[in-house]
């Protein structure tokens, strides 16, 4: 498919966005851009330098110094910040617990959006996040809003962690996911919200493969 389009995939934490976005990009030979990884990378940098995550000026100082490279190879999801491979580190519980605070700052969002728009300029990208269809790429040719129930998202995360041999508590995950949903949806700037022209896909009862097929179908029908 040689379509000159961008695909925006938004939705709450744990709905399976990155898994399906990565695979949709691979099948279309598009570039996958994980915008959550960009906010996570900045959070990692701020925490590493013991910056106050609530202090916008301090956080902006780190963003200005930050050179972030997202691996072109969608398979690995490589993230390099100022020459350091942070692919694993940005998934730590410390980063996860603080990233919503970082993503709340207005100047931070403005700069991230600018970087993301630059990355999508030549099209053929699949970008996932919270505000892609509404703020980053409002003109994206295909917009998906991917959801799943809180319980199902917690169940998937729980299984992932168990499979990795990590400690995991299902009830705690439910509380954490609901908390992040609240912070992401209630923030003043670019809250998590379905774009009016996005297609909502509820993945609660679907396998990853079914979600990927649904999205590829939408691309075939609407993206030409």
- Does 23 bind ligand DC (CB under 6 A)? Our answer is no
**Angle, vertex CA 150, rays to CA 146 and CA 156, nearest 5:** 80
* Residue 2 or 188 with smaller CB distance to ligand DC: 188
Which CB sits closer to ligand DC, 177 or 212?
Answer: 177
Contact 38, 95 (CB under 8 A): no
Q: Are 9 and 144 in contact (CB under 8 A)?
A: yes
Q: Check residue 62 for interaction with ligand DC (CB under 6 A).
A: no
Question: In terms of CB distance, is 6 or 35 closer to ligand DC?
Answer: 35
Nearest to 199 by CA among 177, 221, 175: 221
Q: How far is the CB of 64 from ligand DC (least distance, A)?
A: 19
Q: What are the angstrom distances between the C-alpha of 35 and each of 175, 212, 218?
A: 24, 19, 22
- Per rule CB under 6 A, is residue 105 in the interface with ligand DC? no
Nearer to ligand DC, 94 or 217 (CB): 94
Sign, CA dihedral 177-178-180-185, equals: positive
Instruction: Find the shortest distance in angstroms from Cβ 57 to ligand DC.
Output: 19
35 binds ligand DC (CB under 6 A): yes
Q: Which of 98, 100, 125, 147 binds ligand DC (CB under 6 A)?
A: 100
Contact status: 103 vs ligand DC (CB under 6 A): yes
C-alpha dihedral (202, 206, 210, 212), degrees to nearest 10? 50
CA distance 55 to 80: 24
Strand stretches in 82-173, DSSP E? 84-85, 125-129, 142-147
Among 63, 131, 142, 156, binds ligand DC (CB under 6 A): 131
Quote the CA–CA distance of 83 and 86 in Å, as a whole number: 9
For residue 185, the minimal CB distance to ligand DC (Å) is 10
Among 62, 130, 153, 156, binds ligand DC (CB under 6 A): 130
Question: Looking at residue 30, what DSSP letter applies?
Answer: P
Choose, by CB under 6 A, the member of 19, 36, 199, 223 that binds ligand DC: 36
Chain residues that interact with ligand DC, rule: CB under 6 A: 13, 35-36, 39-40, 99-100, 103, 129-131, 180, 184
């Amino acid at each position: 498919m040689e379509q000159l389009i961008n695909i925006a995939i938004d939705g709450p934490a744990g709905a399976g966005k990155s898994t399906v976005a990565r695979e949709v990009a691979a099948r279309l030979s598009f570039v996958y851009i994980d915008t959550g990884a960009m906010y996570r990378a900045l959070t990692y940098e701020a925490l590493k330098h013991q910056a106050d995550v609530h202090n916008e000026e301090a956080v902006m100082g780190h963003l200005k110094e930050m050179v972030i490279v997202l691996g072109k190879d969608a398979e690995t999801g490589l993230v390099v910040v100022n020459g350091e491979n942070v692919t694993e580190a940005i998934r730590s519980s410390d980063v996860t617990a603080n990233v919503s605070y970082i993503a709340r700052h207005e100047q931070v969002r403005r700069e991230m959006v600018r970087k993301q728009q630059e990355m999508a300029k030549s099209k053929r990208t699949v970008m996932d996040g919270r505000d892609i269809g509404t703020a980053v790429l409002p003109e994206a040719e295909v917009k998906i809003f991917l959801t799943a129930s809180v319980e199902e998202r917690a169940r998937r995360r729980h299984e992932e962690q168990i499979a990795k041999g990590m400690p995991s508590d299902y009830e705690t995950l439910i509380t954490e996911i609901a908390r992040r949903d609240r912070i992401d949806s209630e923030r003043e700037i670019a809250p998590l919200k379905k774009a009016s022209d996005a297609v909502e896909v509820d993945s609660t009862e679907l396998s990853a493969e079914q979600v990927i097929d649904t999205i590829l179908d939408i691309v075939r029908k609407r993206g030409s």
